[in-house]
Structure 1
Amino acid sequence: MRYKLSPLVLDKIRSNRGFSSDAQLAHEAGVTVGTISNIRRGATPSFKTAIRLLELADITDVRAAIVKVTEAPAA
């Protein structure tokens, strides 16, 4: 079973911090805009990046920030 970070975490950071772009969010998180874009598209961030984003979003319960990824059945 796989999990990914919910893009809503990124939206929460932008809203809470008054950011108008993912570039501002990326700068604050210390990552590239490409990393933010990849997370929005479903890529799993590094553990360090995930923790930093959770901190910026003021999320203390990781269960509120992850989404279970359903995998296609084996052929």
Structure 2
Amino acid sequence: MATFTSSLPDHLLQLLEKKAKALGMPKNKLIEKALTIYLDQLNKNAYAQSFKRMANDKNLLTMAEEGMEDYLSQLEAEDEKD
């Protein structure tokens, strides 16, 4: 594990100390958990934004619809075999 050194505003450091004490965990573990959650949320937001952009892209919508038609055709062919 690598070491990282940073500064925090005094009020934030005080909040961190209080919360870490209340949770019974070291400050670095609380920061690690918080950062992991935050970065995961950023990724989820970026993913959601990509879907919003895709919803406005007529070419991608056409490709998706064509792909669904092929998929449904394959399902129907499988149903006929059974």
Name the one with the larger helix percent.
2
Q: Same fold (TM over 0.5)?
A: no
Q: Normalising to structure 1: TM-score of the pair? A: 0.23
Q: Which has the larger radius of gyration?
A: 2
Q: TM-score, length-normalised on structure 2?
A: 0.22
Q: Which gives a bigger RCO, structure 1 or 2 (Cα 8 Å, sep 6+)?
A: 1
Question: Greater share of strand residues, 1 or 2?
Answer: 1
